[in-house]
Structure 1
């Protein structure tokens, strides 16, 4: 018999920039009035997405500086799950880092049960597939393959930015990796929320295995702090110079004549969106080239902006 006090647990995966926070905001709208918790995992310790998601109606924990499925943070994740189990929640969503490999989720849930004495009603892994950048990401990274292999629902995001032929090709590619998962499409975070009433575990494909996330495979992450404001075009030039060498750049920046903006770089696309006032301009860089990115950032900044900034680990 099902325990009515058992929270329904969903794990949200998808590579950097696939739209996890946007989808999470839509899910929160859908579940307004319900007791909802979020465990959010970012490689960047600024907790930028946490700033966007945070409100008084949800319980939220942020775990940064790595993947929650890696041995380096696995205990933190189990502790967070155990603490959330005591919060009398109806739903708990785990928004994992874009570089996370959830292959060992069953092992982590088992450890949580041992630590807390409580069990979650695990509803499945939802993987977001970036319609624009997925093909290139899949070529580069085992993580993207693993996220799809271990999901129960694949959601193709940014459907409006590609044509129907590209969608068909994407579905074919997904089916090569995961022949049974449910597939949906999404535009700006909107999707069919019927999955909240379904048993997604019916679409289980892969058995649990050891995650590829480890201290050794963790990419270099750097943080920039900047006091003052700059022209938008200068910032665009700076970011464009770095695109080939990073998986992702995001943050908040004060732009001359335009105020505070949320900055988001995915693939070759640079997006700006008006934001609330932030304490200072900050960016997070996730490097493709390890520590060599440090010199690249300083060089690009000097060439395009020139004002004083601080870079830190």
Structure 2
């Protein structure tokens, strides 16, 4: 009889470090057969390119949340498909805007359609230590992610002081007083959680998710075929970032290809060796389609060359 696949759900708001964390977990599980379902709101999957490696089974589900009715059927189908593959672990990295409150209901549906093939090991929530307290006040999804998880990892602790870290822990315990908490810098932690029973405190019952087709955020894809100066692209991003939840992608700059990552006020560039077919950014808007005109105006004023925005 086939051994059950160990299933982990990975949550955390945009920019909390989920993909970096997952990359480190994959290194720790070197030699194991791994499956990954990656969920992004944009039409273009960016993170899949970052973690892709030989021997890994990867499915990308874009253009919505896997917990929303707009993608829930696709998620169940992907889970059923993964169950037929020769893997030992399956990690589901949900979108940063995903509310996993109905995960219990989805897992029950998978068991009904496919059988008891998964061993659910729990939900792990990444917390952005720098921006968490502000996010918690503004975004309901952040609280929902904490409420329905079994391990919290407070990330970016190298960028905050002890008082802030303690305040974050207190807030987390107010929302979920049973959850285990670890701290991390650069997504690195003690990976002993892979051998622990994260569900020993039990699972909270399913609720209706707040993710609906009606409240899905506006996501735009910017593509460009030329080369720009880093200082010009940085100036462009600085001008539009206040109206976005997240900007990420790959761009050809004068020093070569760069991975671009924008979270709140922080704009980060990282050189990559792999050539891309075109420069592209996924932009998740806080203000809906109203961001379109400012993007075009700012781009024309700073860059001045033709780009496409879809």
TM-score for the superposition, normalised by structure 1? 0.97
Shift of 1:203: 3.3
Pick from 143, 148, 164: which aligns with 2:141?
143
| Deviation digits for residues 50-102 of structure 1 (CA, Å, limit 9, x no counterpart) | 00111122111000000000000000000000011111321100000000000
Preserved CA contact (<8 Å) 1:179 1:205: no
Aligned length: 309
- Aligned partner of 2:35 in structure 1 is 37
Q: Which residue of 2 aligns with 1:285?
A: 283
Describe the SS at the equivalent of 2:101: helix
Match of 1:235 among 233, 237, 246: 233
Secondary structure of the residue that 1:183 maps to in structure 2? strand
Selected match of 2:259 from 254, 259, 262: 262
Partners of 2:271 and 2:199 lie apart in 1 by 39
Whole-angstrom CA distance in 1 between matches of 2:231 and 2:84: 49
The separation in 1 between residues aligned to 2:87 and 2:4, in whole angstroms, is 8
Q: Distance in 1 between matches of 2:97 and 2:34?
A: 24
2:162 aligned residue (164, 167, 176): 164
Question: Match for residue 272 of structure 1?
Answer: 269
DSSP-derived class of the 1:39 partner: strand
1:26 aligned partner? 24
Is contact 1:13-1:127 (8 Å) kept?
Answer: yes
Match of 1:62 in 2: 60
How far 1:206 moved relative to its partner?
3.0
TM-score (norm 2): 0.98
DSSP 3-state at the match of 2:102: helix
Is the 2:260–2:267 Cα contact (8 Å) retained in structure 1? yes
The CA deviation at 1:140 is 1.4
Q: Is the 8 A contact 2:37 2:60 kept in 1?
A: yes
Take 1:13 and 1:123, find their aligned partners in 2: how far apart are those partners?
14
Q: Is the 8 A contact 2:247 2:284 kept in 1?
A: yes
The one of 3, 6, 9 aligned to 1:8 = 6
Aligned partners of 2:14 and 2:96 also within 8 Å: yes
In structure 2, stretches of 5+ residues that fail to align are none
Is the CA contact 1:130–1:158 (under 8 Å) kept in the aligned structure 2? yes
Q: Distance in 2 between matches of 1:19 and 1:287?
A: 19
Q: Distance in 1 between matches of 2:260 and 2:126?
A: 21
The corresponding residue for 1:199 is 197
Question: In 1, distance between residues paired with 2:231 and 2:105?
Answer: 48
Match of 1:201, SS? Answer: coil
Question: How far apart are 1:235 and its partner, in Å?
Answer: 0.4
Q: CA deviation at 1:119?
A: 3.0
Q: Which residue of 2 aligns with 1:92?
A: 90
List alignment gaps of at least 5 residues for structure 1: none
Q: Determine the structure 1 residue equivalent to 2:304.
A: 306
CA-based RMSD? 1.1
